[in-house]
A and B are shown apart, each in its own frame.
Chain A
Amino acid sequence: MTIVFYLIAAITVAGALAAMLLKNTVHCALALTVAFAGLAIQFLELDAQFAGFAQILVYIGAVAILIVFAILLTRGSETPKDGVFSKSWLAGLVIAALVFAVLGWAVLNSTSVLPGETAKPAVSVLQIGNALIGRYVLPLEIVAVLLTSALIGAVIVARQEKGSAK
C-alpha cells in the first residue's frame, strides 16, 4: 500500500464528501469532478490505462458538464430556504452506515481466496480492440443501441413542447 494510494484515496474521499455536504450545488458538482479525477488516477495505479483515460474523457469531459448545465437550467445555484438536507436525513445516514459496515466486514473477513500480490498485467489497446470485436461484440452492439436510444430519449424528454408555458 504505497503512499500514492493513500494520498489519492484521501483526495477522492474528500471530494466525495464535499460533493455530498456542500450547500452550493455548483460547488458540489466541482467537488464531484475532483472525486472523478481521483478515481481516474486510481485506475492508472491499477494498470488499467484505457479505463482511466476513458473515465477522464467521459466523466469529467461530459457528465460533469451535463450536471452543471442541468444545475444552471433549473436554478440550482440558489440555496433553498428550508435547508439542503431533507426531513428524513437521519434514516438515510443510518442506512448508508449499515451498508458500509456490511461491506467492510465482508472485505476484511474474506482473505483466503485471492493472492496478495499478482504480476502486473500488460494490456495493450490492440488487445482491448480485439476483445471488443471478438468476445464482447454483443455487449458492444447493445451499448451502441442503448446510447442511441438514450440520446434520442434525452432530447425528446428535455425539449420544450410547442405551446407550453416557458
Chain B
Amino acid sequence: MIKNADQIFVLLQHWVMSFFPTALQPIVGVLLAVVSIICVFPALFAIAVLMERKGLGRMQNRYGPNRVGPLGILQPVADGLKSLTKEDIVPTSADAVVHFLAPVFLVVVVFMGYAVLPMGRNMTLVNLDAGLLFFFAMGASTELSVFMAGWSSRNKYSLLGAMRAVAQMISYEVPLLLSSLVVVMMSGSMNLGRIVAVQNQYSWGLPHWYIFTPWGFAAFLLYATATTAESNRSPFDLPEGESELVAGYFTEYSGFKFALFFLGEYVGMLSVSGLGTTLFLGGWSAPFSFLTWVPSWIWFFGKVMLSICVFIWLRGTLPRLRQDQLMNFAWKFVVPLSLINLFVAGLWRFMGDGFARWGVCSAILLIAYVGMAKVGMQKKHFGPRSYRYAE
C-alpha cells in the first residue's frame, strides 16, 4: 500500500499504456509523462505567483491580493484571463519574426530542463547518462532568447536591459557549473538518478544529503546565489528593475507574450530549484529514516516549494545590487570560492572517514570566506570630484 502510494503515477502511466497496442506503448508512455509535466509545473507556477504576491505583501506590512476569491486564491486565474485578453501590440519598427520567436524559444528551452529531473522513485522522464550536462545546456540557451527579446524591440531601454541580463547570466554560469561540479566529483556520475541514490542512505537516522557536509553546504550557498542571478531575481534583478529600465528586455511585450516571459521565468526558477534539491537536498529522499513511508514525490515537491519560499524571502529582504557590484561579486568572490570549494571537496575525499576532516574542511572554507570578503570586496574609493570639459 505504501509502495503503491509512492509509485502511484508510474502505475497510472502503465495502466493507461496497457490500453494501447504494444508497438505504440513507449510513445504513449512518454507522451503521458510530457503532458503531465506541462500541466503540473504551470499549476505550480500559479501557486508560486500567488505565494509571492501575498508573501511579499506580508513582508512589506500589507496584505497581498485578497479580493479575488477567498484570501485571493483565484488571483492567478484573474491574471491569466487578463493577459490572454489584452491587445497584443508589436511596434512597427520591431523585427516581427524575432519578436515573436523570443518568448516561444524561452518557454521551449525552459521546459526541456524538466526531462532529466528525478521527481520521485522511478519518476524521471529520460534517465540520461549525462543528465546534468543536458540541464546546463538548456540553461545556457535561455540567454539567447533574452537577447532576441531585447534586440528585436528596437528600443534603447530594452537593448540595455538585454545586454545587462546577458552579461549577468554569463558571469553567473561559471559559479553555477563549478558548484555543481563538486557534486559530480563526489558522487562519481552526471546521472541525476544516481546522485539521488547516493544521497538516499541513512546513518543514525540522518540522511547523507550533500548539504550536511561542509563543502556541500558551501556549494549549496554558491549554487543558490548563482541561480538567483541566473533567473534574474532580486537581489540580482537589475535587468528587469522596475524602477530603472521600465521593464527591461520585455518592455515592448504585451498580453500573452508577456505572460509567456513571466511563465518562462518562474518555470525556470522551479526547474533550478528542482536541480538544487536533486544535487544538494537529496532529491526525493526523506529527511529522517523513520519518514520513508511518505511517498517520494511529496518530498521532492515539498523541497522545491520550500526553495521557492526562500527565493521570495530573499526578494522581500535584500536590496538590489548595481550592475558593477553584481559583476564584481561574481568574478571576484563567488568564482574563487567555488574553486576553493572544489579543492576542499577533494581534501574531504582524501582524508578518509573520521571527524578530523569535518574540522579541517570547515576551517579552510571559513578562512577562505572571511579572507575573500575582506580582500575581494573592497569598496571603490572615490577621490575628490574632477571635471571633464568638452574640449
Contact = CB atoms under 8 A, between A and B. Distances in A.
B130 A53 contact: yes
A61 B151 contact: no
Interface of A: 26-27, 30, 33, 49-50, 53-54, 56-57, 60-62, 64-65, 68-69, 72, 124-126
Contacts of A56: 137-138, 140-141
Interface stretch (B2-10, B142-150, B279-287, B288-296): B142-150
B329 to A, nearest CB: 19
A56 B140 CA distance: 8
A53 B137 contact: yes
B134 interface: yes
Nearest to A61: B140
B68 interface: no
A125 B189 contact: yes
Chain B's interface size range is 20 to 34
B141 A61 contact: yes
Interface string B110-129: 00000000000000000011
A26 B151 contact: yes
A125 B130 contact: yes
A65 to B, nearest CB: 6
Q: Which of A49, A53, A64, A68 has the most chain B CB atoms inside 10 A of its CB?
A: A53
Nearest to A122: B129
B133 interface: yes
Contacts of A26: 98, 151
A57 B144 contact: no
A57 B130 contact: no
Contacts of A61: 137, 139-141, 143-144, 173
Given A26-B151, A30-B98, A65-B166, A124 B144 contact: no
Contact of A57 (B128, B133, B188): B133
A53 B128 CA distance: 11
A124 B136 contact: no
Contacts of A57: 133, 136-137, 140
Given A61-B137, A125-B190, A126-B189, A50 B130 contact: yes
22 contacts: A27-B98, A49-B130, A53-B130, A53-B137, A56-B137, A56-B140, A57-B133, A57-B136, A61-B139, A61-B140, A61-B144, A61-B173, A62-B140, A64-B144, A65-B143, A65-B144, A65-B170, A69-B166, A125-B129, A125-B189, A125-B190, A126-B188
B134 A53 contact: yes
A65 B165 CA distance: 12
A19 B137 CA distance: 22
A54 B140 CA distance: 11
A30 B133 contact: no
B140 to A, nearest CB: 3
B141 A60 contact: yes
A56 B130 CA distance: 13
A72 B129 CA distance: 38
B147 A68 contact: yes
B292 to A, nearest CB: 29
Nearest to A27: B98
Contacts of B137: 53-54, 56-57, 60-61
B138 to A, nearest CB: 8
B244 to A, nearest CB: 20
A53 B126 CA distance: 14
Contacts of B98: 26-27, 30
Nearest to A124: B129
Contact of B140 (A27, A60, A124): A60
A124 B166 CA distance: 33
A65 B171 CA distance: 13
Nearest to A50: B130
A27 B138 CA distance: 21
Contacts of A65: 143-144, 147, 166, 170
